[in-house]
Structure 1
Amino acid sequence: MLREKALSLHKRFEESLHDGEKKTFKASKGWLYSFVQRYKLKNLKITGESASADIEAASVFPQHFKTVIEEGGYVPEQVFNCDETGLFWKKMPNRTYINKEARQAKGFKAFKDRLTLVLCANAAGHIIKPGLVYRANNPRPLKNKRKDCLPVFWQHNKKAWMTAILFLDWFKKCFIPEVKAYLEKKELSFKVLLIIDNAPGHPESIKFEDENVKVIFLPPNTTSILQPLDQGIIKCFKATYTRMAFGRIRDAIDADRNSDVMGYVFEKTTK
């Protein structure tokens, strides 16, 4: 982000220079290192915990999964995987350059507003409407708005957590109609295989909700190895979200030189 901004500034200033005054500027990694050292910026990293995986159980599951697909005659368009992930949607990146004197990213603790996303896609790469669980049913920006017109399936819970009731609601009111419409468009029969992990919010009863949807639970403690969406897809989604958010912040600051990053985030997310 710093390198992109430096290039855009260079391009802007270069327009006012004569040909003999112009110099090549690439905003290289070497330039970034020198910039960080010159202004005594520090790179902070906040690390998280990782759970241990059951390697033995994970090694047995693929063969079982293959058998289910072959016996059921499923094609990639009919094989779906879903997973939940928490998103601190106001949060700055884990690695943030700040003044050395501060030692802690400004506002990092202040913006911990969390929501839960339900991401779902099939083996052919089709993505259905995400589910979203927020702590309020009607936050200020959505008052008097039709939630069925949102690009997400809106749900609420005081702690913004996925519960068994909410998951079943998402399954019946979002997953089923979305998948039905998709398969009908593809001229495929409504015969679906859904792979989910054994999280507390995923009730066993979901197996009996629809006779055309076969639900397979991943073995306990194998999510990091077997969960398809956990193999870098959710990570890429969050990286893209952060990049797009910073792009909007950058554009807003370019439009109003009196604004700053944290001020913009606070203003735009509390109105």
Structure 2
Amino acid sequence: MFPLFEYFLVSWIDAAAAEHVYINDDAIREQGKIIQKRLTELPGCKENYESFDMSSGWLQGFKQRHNVVLKKKNKDLVDPAEIPGHQMGMTMQLEKFAPRDRFNCSDLRLELTRLPETVPDRRRVTVFLCVNADGSEKRRVLVVNRVATPLSFSQEKVNPANLPVIYRYSQRPWYTGLWYDFLRTFDMEIRAEKRHAVLLCQTSPSYPPPTQPPHFYKGPPPPVLTNITLIFLPSNLPMSLQPLDQGIIACFKATYRRMYVQALALHRTLTGAGRSKLTHLECIGMIASAWQAIPPRTIVRCWQISGICQDLMREEVSEEFKPERYILTQESLCGRCVRQIMPHTHGESFRQFWQLDESLPSEGTAPDAVRLIDEAVAAGVLEHGPDGINLNDIETGEGDPMPEEIISSQTAIKYLSQVNRYLRSLPETELRVPQGRSIATRGAIEHNSRIISGVFQHIDNNKPSSRKGSSRIDTDGPEKEPQEQWDTETISQVYPSLLMS
């Protein structure tokens, strides 16, 4: 009926949800009037709102059409004196499972490229974390972005399936289909390992039980869980009872900010030139690294603080692994790097940067609907319609540094072979890796050789004989002339280590 108007109204609701702003039907109607007024001022808008009334019937239909679920204000929090009883009840449910089989999950909003004394940009993603009680199993991070293909992805020809995170695109920070996809995959993997696990999550419209899908859900059938037991925290309990909210999320954000600033400082040290921000691709990799960097003992401590796992209380956690100490360490390292790349930053600016979205407010500042409209108009919404807006231009197109050219397959093989030569020359038989682990040098060489073998297979699959009409062997490199032909005999002579695999 009014697609442009409804598009901007939904955009405002999503932006308000991202800022944790409480909204109700009256707020939607009020913003609707602002949006209508602004659209009627635009000469290219052909929608006429003179006889349009945002009645209760229209509003109900609008929310159903766009899957809008409004959160209610919770004024009936449980009496603090009753919290120990709830903790004991959850303990009794969780103690049926071993610590490695107790999981907690939650989502958070992360601002990717903010620095002290800089204007906030719109590079925000939703990050979904899941971890078990003994810290031995951090589930692969799920990242939800409003941009399907950021500029750095297309420049680097990135296949999202090869990223260290699960990357999804959605105009909404979170939706039911993502939750059901996660549960389906999680249950399947736990079942394959012949385990039974429990998953603790918050009671929220974002996490509907698979047995009670929302009426507006139109995706694949909800998963039937066979090896996962869901426990929903009562909505009237403070979220601080959730282990992730007891310091795990704060540690993750602190680690990410420290790594982000360190990367900029390292670039300045190595090249002598400064960068204002990293690309989306670099930030995505940093999210995965920050998640893996959190020590398991810190995770155990956060589960202890929640008070819902009495059997974990007997474990001693040294001072250095407590979340508050871990965050202070990250802050100190980050501060040193900030002084290196921004020597004139004063202490208060750094504190504001460091505390950025550390604890998201329950009620933030409502987004500016007029600004949302003006940005979309600049991107061509009036010419192409809502579906034709190039979100890459709005959110990620500006400021990304141009990457180096992607090397050819032959060059990749050359570099990988050089790494193998280096590894073979090492006197050590083991290599130390993060978190106190080690890998055999021979194992690293064999693994690298398998990568070389895979690159050769890629070349073989792209030979002219296997691709009709193609005169090129290597399609991912910048070189235009025909590439050298490789056969099994040559590979065996030049790279004998491949025979070991």
Fold-level match, TM-score > 0.5? Answer: yes
**CA distance change for structure 1 residues 206 and 255 in 2, over 3 Å: closer, same or farther?**
farther
Q: 1:124 aligns with which of 124, 127, 134?
A: 134
Q: 1:63 aligns with which of 88, 97, 111?
A: 88
| Residues 123-175 of structure 1, C-alpha deviations (whole Å, 9 max, x = no match) | 1212010111111222233344332222111212113x1111211112223x2
| Residues 38-73 of structure 1, C-alpha deviations (whole Å, 9 max, x = no match) | xxxxxxxxxx99x98643564332122122234xx3
Contact 1:206 1:215 in 2 (8 A): no
**CA distance change for structure 1 residues 180 and 253 in 2, over 3 Å: closer, same or farther?**
farther
User: Where does structure 2 lack aligned partners over 5 or more consecutive residues?
Assistant: 1-19, 22-73, 213-222, 280-397, 404-501
Q: Give the 3-state SS of the residue equivalent to 2:129 in structure 1.
A: strand
- Paired residues, number: 199
- The structural deviation recorded for 1:198 is 1.1
Work out the CA distance in 2 between the residues paired with 1:57 and 1:166.
34
Partner of 2:357: none
Partner of 1:204: 209
Work out the CA distance in 1 between the residues paired with 2:123 and 2:201.
26
Contact 1:81 1:121 in 2 (8 A): yes
TM-score (normalised: structure 1): 0.64
Partner of 2:308: none
Matches within 5 A, 1:68-147: 68-70=93-95, 73-92=96-115, 96=116, 105-106=117-118, 108-109=119-120, 111-125=121-135, 126-143=137-154, 144-147=157-160
Work out the CA distance in 2 between the residues paired with 1:59 and 1:215.
21
Work out the CA distance in 1 between the residues paired with 2:237 and 2:152.
39
Which structure has the highest helix share of the two?
Answer: 2
- The structural deviation recorded for 1:194 is 0.5
Work out the CA distance in 2 between the residues paired with 1:190 and 1:130.
21
- The structural deviation recorded for 1:112 is 2.9
Question: Which amino acid counterpart does residue 119 of structure 1 have in structure 2?
Answer: L
Work out the CA distance in 2 between the residues paired with 1:245 and 1:217.
34
Question: Which amino acid counterpart does residue 74 of structure 1 have in structure 2?
Answer: F
| Residues 219-261 of structure 1, C-alpha deviations (whole Å, 9 max, x = no match) | 114353211101011101110111011111001122333425x
Work out the CA distance in 2 between the residues paired with 1:220 and 1:76.
24
Partner of 2:245: 230
Work out the CA distance in 2 between the residues paired with 1:141 and 1:209.
38
Q: 1:156 aligns with which of 140, 145, 169?
A: 169
Work out the CA distance in 1 between the residues paired with 2:278 and 2:207.
37
Residue 172 (1) aligns with residue 184 (2): yes
Partner of 2:473: none
TM-score (normalised: structure 2): 0.36
Work out the CA distance in 2 between the residues paired with 1:263 and 1:218.
38
Work out the CA distance in 2 between the residues paired with 1:128 and 1:211.
19
Work out the CA distance in 2 between the residues paired with 1:163 and 1:141.
25
- The structural deviation recorded for 1:267 is 4.1
Work out the CA distance in 2 between the residues paired with 1:230 and 1:142.
32
**CA distance change for structure 1 residues 224 and 263 in 2, over 3 Å: closer, same or farther?**
closer
Q: 1:193 aligns with which of 193, 198, 216?
A: 198
**CA distance change for structure 1 residues 86 and 267 in 2, over 3 Å: closer, same or farther?**
same
**CA distance change for structure 1 residues 129 and 264 in 2, over 3 Å: closer, same or farther?**
closer
Q: 1:243 aligns with which of 258, 263, 275?
A: 258
Q: Give the 3-state SS of the residue equivalent to 1:214 in structure 2.
A: strand
* Cα root mean square deviation, aligned: 2.9
